[in-house]
A and B are shown apart, each in its own frame.
Chain A
């Protein structure tokens, strides 16, 4: 098994906490939280694709249906707006993950308890190894697809799924959120029902503004 050589501190993605990178950032935490629920299988907190459901009557977030859960989270690539709360833009990757798990279940004939950790580890591998601070939704889709083979080499997952099965699951997961990923070269292409040009322009401007604010305006907030 290939040793993972990069340190978390210096080599993790360090996704910036705004825009698409912020949404990915949040989603990776949700994904690992989901994986732990399945791993622990607690009677008082049964495994599911919800976040925070054990604390009150209403869950904080849903990975299966982000928008339906809170009326704010994005469900796909094209409903993302650059200035939105990262806890809402996390819906993109959360939903891609959910659908990747479902695809895994159907293509591999495996249960959710097998597919959740498999896909979570796959997604997290990409976060650790391939993404950078400003990675966006397309980067996540492209690199998750590209990393599948390397992930298998590095981690030798105990699964009935093949490399191709997992790649297919990844592709289908992102297809469900508006990114059609080419299985051969892993390049993603936007495939939304409605792609609003003005929204995309706004996204770009918002990201730039956020970045400027982060670089120039944060000192006052730093407190230690």
Chain B
């Protein structure tokens, strides 16, 4: 996007939270039974298992390993981009959280009705409605050829191509998603994550990976995470970015309210932050966290009493590492804003959105922190909770968030077709 579109104001893209929500239930079996054979608008919704991971947690007085079951939602057999269904249980198979896309009563985080998500019986699935249905116009090979033509490369430069439903609040698409390697200019290779509308071959979404590196690890004994596991997580988090929707929002820094700080991976229900409000052209009100380094916490997970935690927590005892992550990152944003004039801590230019997704409790006994270039995502392991506490001290959080902000892996959004003329937001988004 050209610099002439920069406004310097807090206007722009807003992440739509309405499709992702935590649910709570104790009836795991009946939920799965219903989920596996539910329909919406005459289309069959199913769930394909993706992974089961374990996370060390503490439930009441019993230290146990929680399990996190992750499934990918499908409609008529086509995966829905970003619509993972994540169920977390403790070792007694007690469901501690269920997270999937759902409809909120309003489109704001601050005013959503929490009672709605507390009952499985009452939850409503968000509409994923592709206007032209779920039958693709072209084969995978044909889609690869189209992408190759668009990017001026041969088809062997098109990898990992797959058909998915691409839901945004703008509209939902039946889309071909692929990684495209472009080397047409000698010495200037580019790798793009691309989403192409199956209906008209338009590129809906393009994200450039400027670099990639493996995370470095200190202790081989704690190297549990394999590359392919990280890869699957990467795709999930990239998928979340699909929920980006372009809206012109005028932010009102004087209107500060309390709002939810979301996560779709962890049972962090109840974490709150102070947010500012904004309105779009229709008068709809939106809220965004990120500017105010203050938050409230009411979580349940911890690391056997061995958490590192900041002195600044408003609650006694050691809270969840997620709060540490947020504390460090939000303060970093404030610091950048105050010292280097970087608005919202995330960008100096309204044309260039940068946000960070923070994930704590990464994997089991994973003793490191890292970021994944191109995903705006930083991960923090809990370590062993014995020799090492979770990797969420302020300096580590700032290091990793800084890595994402300043280093090689920036994802340059060029949602070419639909929001090219809209400015983008600058706020940190925490899930």
Interaction A to B: yes
Instruction: Give A residues with C-beta under 8 Å from B.
Output: 1, 3-18, 22, 25, 28-30, 32-37, 39-40, 42-45, 50-56, 60, 85-87, 117, 121, 124-125, 127-128, 133, 154-155, 214-215, 218-219, 221-224
Chain A residue contacts of B352, Cβ below 8 A: 7-11
CB nearest neighbor in B for A10: B352
Judge whether B387 is part of the interface by a CB distance below 8 angstroms. Answer: yes
State whether A6 touches B398 (Cβ < 8 A).
no
CB nearest neighbor in A for B411: A9
Interchain nearest-CB distance for A195 vs B (Å): 28
CB nearest neighbor in A for B349: A7
Given contacts A29-B407, A35-B335, A55-B389, contact A7 B347 (CB under 8 A): yes
- Residue of B191, B212, B383 with most partner-chain A CB within 10 A: B212
State whether A60 touches B341 (Cβ < 8 A).
no
Instruction: Give B residues with C-beta under 8 Å from A.
Output: 3, 6, 8, 159-160, 179, 181, 183, 189, 191, 193, 209-214, 216, 218, 227-228, 230-232, 234-235, 238, 308-312, 328, 331-332, 335, 339-342, 346-349, 351-354, 374-375, 383, 387-391, 393-396, 398-400, 402-403, 405-408, 410-412
- Give the contacting residue for A8; candidates B181, B347, B390; CB below 8 A: B347
State whether B332 touches A128 (Cβ < 8 A).
no
- Of all A-B residue pairs in the complex, the 8 with the closest CB atoms, nearest first, are A7-B352, A223-B231, A7-B349, A33-B395, A9-B352, A54-B393, A29-B402, A17-B213
Chain A residue contacts of B383, Cβ below 8 A: 55
State whether A39 touches B159 (Cβ < 8 A).
no
Chain A residue contacts of B342, Cβ below 8 A: 4, 8
Chain A residue contacts of B218, Cβ below 8 A: 60
Chain B residue contacts of A25, Cβ below 8 A: 403, 406-408
Chain A residue contacts of B311, Cβ below 8 A: 42-45
Chain A residue contacts of B230, Cβ below 8 A: 223
Chain A residue contacts of B234, Cβ below 8 A: 223-224
**Can you list 9 residue pairs at the A/B interface with Cβ under 8 Å?**
A7-B351, A34-B395, A36-B394, A36-B398, A39-B331, A53-B393, A60-B218, A214-B211, A222-B209
CB nearest neighbor in B for A28: B406
Known contacts A29-B402, A128-B340; 4 further A-B pairs (Cβ under 8 A): A15-B408, A45-B395, A121-B339, A224-B179
Interchain nearest-CB distance for A215 vs B (Å): 5
- Give the contacting residue for A222; candidates B212, B216, B403, B408; CB below 8 A: B212
Chain B residue contacts of A60, Cβ below 8 A: 218
State whether B212 touches A218 (Cβ < 8 A).
yes
Given contacts A8-B349, A8-B352, A87-B216, contact A52 B396 (CB under 8 A): yes
Bound Cα distance A205, B335 (Å): 39
State whether A219 touches B399 (Cβ < 8 A).
no
Chain B residue contacts of A10, Cβ below 8 A: 352, 410, 412
Chain A residue contacts of B346, Cβ below 8 A: 8
CB nearest neighbor in B for A154: B341
Bound Cα distance A187, B411 (Å): 34
Given contacts A42-B312, A56-B388, A117-B339, contact A33 B396 (CB under 8 A): yes
Chain A residue contacts of B211, Cβ below 8 A: 14, 16-17, 214
- Give the contacting residue for B235; candidates A54, A55, A223; CB below 8 A: A223
Chain A residue contacts of B349, Cβ below 8 A: 5-9, 11
Interchain nearest-CB distance for A86 vs B (Å): 7
State whether B375 touches A224 (Cβ < 8 A).
yes
Interchain nearest-CB distance for A69 vs B (Å): 13
State whether A4 touches B408 (Cβ < 8 A).
no
Bound Cα distance A127, B336 (Å): 13
Chain A residue contacts of B354, Cβ below 8 A: 8-9
Bound Cα distance A133, B374 (Å): 16
Chain B residue contacts of A54, Cβ below 8 A: 308, 389, 393-395
Chain B residue contacts of A14, Cβ below 8 A: 210-211, 407-408, 410
CB nearest neighbor in B for A9: B352
State whether B398 touches A29 (Cβ < 8 A).
yes
Bound Cα distance A217, B399 (Å): 27
Chain A residue contacts of B388, Cβ below 8 A: 55-56
Chain B residue contacts of A56, Cβ below 8 A: 387-389
Chain A residue contacts of B398, Cβ below 8 A: 29, 32-33, 36
Given contacts A15-B407, A29-B406, A56-B388, contact A219 B181 (CB under 8 A): yes
State whether A36 touches B331 (Cβ < 8 A).
yes
Interchain nearest-CB distance for B19 vs A (Å): 19
Chain B residue contacts of A40, Cβ below 8 A: 310, 312, 331, 394
Chain A residue contacts of B212, Cβ below 8 A: 218, 221-222
State whether B191 touches A33 (Cβ < 8 A).
no
Chain A residue contacts of B216, Cβ below 8 A: 85-87
Chain A residue contacts of B183, Cβ below 8 A: 215
State whether B395 touches A9 (Cβ < 8 A).
no
State whether B410 touches A12 (Cβ < 8 A).
yes
Chain A residue contacts of B407, Cβ below 8 A: 12, 14-15, 17, 25, 28-29
State whether B332 touches A36 (Cβ < 8 A).
yes
